Structure 1
Amino acid sequence: MSPSNLNKYEFLEIESTPARNGEIVSIFLNNPESRNSMTWKMGEEFQTEINRISKLKILPRAVIISGRNDVFCAGGDLNLLRSFSEKTFSQNKRDMRKFYSFFLSIRNLQSPVIGALNGHAIGAGLSLGFACDLRFFALEGKYSFNFVRLGIHPGMGSSFLAPELLGKSLGSRLLFTGETFNGEDAKNWGLAVTSVPKNEVYAKALEFAIYMADGAPLALQELKKNLYQWKSLDKALKKEAASQARNFISDDFRETLTSVVEKRSPIFLGK
């Protein structure tokens, strides 16, 4: 069952692997210059590919999201974040909802989506992994919702997804502190199907996807549709967009940008 390359975007690579009466489609984030960080262009490409998949006559038995370059995703691209600091509150509120929608479009796919977090996943990159239906983690990977340490409210659905998957106490702890956890933690918390060395993560996810392809596709599609609290996530996204829009024009976020250039820890003053 060797994979075949379907298409190549600027920031994505797409592969198809045969499975029982169908295929497994794999989407690889590929931004080698910045550890697969999320750019606006990557988001547009991602949504284009999700739209392509959703219109196929025969839907994939599963979709896998993973990363090239020995990493999953470093979160939002620094240049993109810097551009938000130069916009108005209303512009940021609108653009953040749009940016979220690019990547969270996986929640609208009828096919099950598996996150193969084959390396570090930070901020919005980790949120993308949490938005998947099932997840595989790298034992040595570093994972963090680091939003508050950048002076911004958690985004990309993380304020809903973390408590949904981990419970209120642990989910809130990770959001409030921005602390880092590893693949072993993810396995112990029940967040991962399993955690393995990073060079085995994608292969394990693909093996599992092929096994899952033995299930009845219509039943799996109906199951996915019924698993989620769609309205609750949408409400959380609206609140996140408004909160991040305010944070991006704050002195604290400008301090974050300055500290990155000066290679030091930011000093937040709450204004």
Structure 2
Amino acid sequence: MTSVLHFQELEPEIVLLRMQDRVHKNTFSKELIDGLMDAFEAIQASHTYKVVILTGYDTYFASGGTREGLLAIHEGREKFTDKNIYSLALNCDIPVIAAMQGHGIGGGLIMGLFADFVILSRESVYTTNFMKYGFTPGMGATCILPRKLGISLTEELLINSGTYRGAELEKRGIPFPVLPRTEVLDHAIDLAREIAEKPRYSLILLKNHLVAPIRKELPAIIEQEVLMHEKTFHQPEVRERIHTLFGK
């Protein structure tokens, strides 16, 4: 699709999407955003694919907004809703597996959690660090985190910007496989092959049924997140924090 997103048909019914923006460490650069949106559009247009695997490269899964993107929101030039990548997996007709072999940071973690199946790495870091910069969460974080991880861990992640290794989350009892980094993708491929054994029509019908409540409630939650951004994102302190803390 683009140089930063590799689209591969592992098998006729299985697609592997590998995010590999090495220059920006898989932050949401324009190239990566466009690549993801084009890839999922192509997947939706197919009548063959049954399952998608979304993964990163080396030690990075996805790292959230770029410094320039965060500053653009601070200055009122953009909103995170301008290009909806956070719910690409949710809105995809067929099941999506997030093989999060590397760090999942901010919106990068949230994008992964919108997948139907999530696999984490023991060594990698997972955090929703919105409040670290002084602004309230976006990307649908306040919708998907409580559903996937429960309210207590969600409050730690969102209010306190908690940072956890996959091994720590495993001890907290999260409901996802947590494996050594080198095993994450292989596990995802095995799972994809099991899913691909099922009839495509039945997979689509069942996924649509299972995620319907999230699809229904998400727009109202996004609207509330945007309203909170309008109250929190434009503070002078936020700009200072973005400049001094980004990447640390």
Q: Do both share a fold (TM > 0.5)?
A: yes
CA RMSD of aligned residues (A): 1.9
Does structure 2 retain, via aligned residues, the 8 Å contact 1:96–1:245?
no
1:66 maps onto 2:64 in alignment:
no
User: Matched residues in 1 for 2:95 and 2:114: separation?
Assistant: 11
Which secondary structure does the structure 2 equivalent of 1:252 belong to?
helix
Is the contact made by 1:75 and 1:122 (CA closer than 8 Å) also made in structure 2?
Answer: yes
Match in the other structure for 2:174: 190
Q: Partner of 2:38 in structure 1?
A: 48
Name the counterpart of 1:246.
231
1:4 alignment partner in structure 2: none
Kindly state the Cα deviation for residue 157 of structure 1 after the two structures are TM-superposed.
0.9
Give, as a single letter, the amino acid of the residue that structure 2 aligns with 1:80: G
Query: Partner of 1:84 in structure 2?
Result: 73
User: Aligned residue for 2:138?
Assistant: 155
For 1:139-154, list aligned pairs within 5 A. Answer: 139-154=122-137
Judged with a 3 Å threshold, the aligned counterparts in structure 2 of structure 1 residues 43 and 246 are, in CA distance, closer, same or farther, namely farther
Q: Separation in 1 of the partners of 2:195 and 2:179?
A: 19
- How far did residue 132 of structure 1 move? 0.5
1:55 partner amino acid: A
1:10 equivalent in alignment to 2:3:
yes
1:33 is matched with 23
**1:168 CA displacement:** 2.0
Identity of aligned residues (%): 25
The amino acid of 2:232's aligned partner reads N
Within 1, Cα distance between the matches of 2:147 and 2:20?
28
Aligned to 1:98: 82
CA distance in 1, matches of 2:169, 2:54: 17
How far apart, in 2, do the equivalents of 1:52 and 1:103 lie? 17
> Which shifted more, 108-117 or 229-238?
229-238
Within 5 Å, give how 1:74-223 maps onto structure 2.
74-87=63-76, 91-92=77-78, 95-99=79-83, 101-188=84-171, 189-192=173-176, 194-223=177-206
| Corresponding pairs, count | 245
Unaligned runs of at least 5 residues, structure 1 = 1-7, 265-271
* TM-score (norm. length: structure 1): 0.84
Displacement of 1:24 after TM fit?
0.8
The one-letter code matched in structure 1 to 2:236 is D
Kindly state the Cα deviation for residue 39 of structure 1 after the two structures are TM-superposed.
1.7
| Unpaired runs of at least 5, structure 2 | none
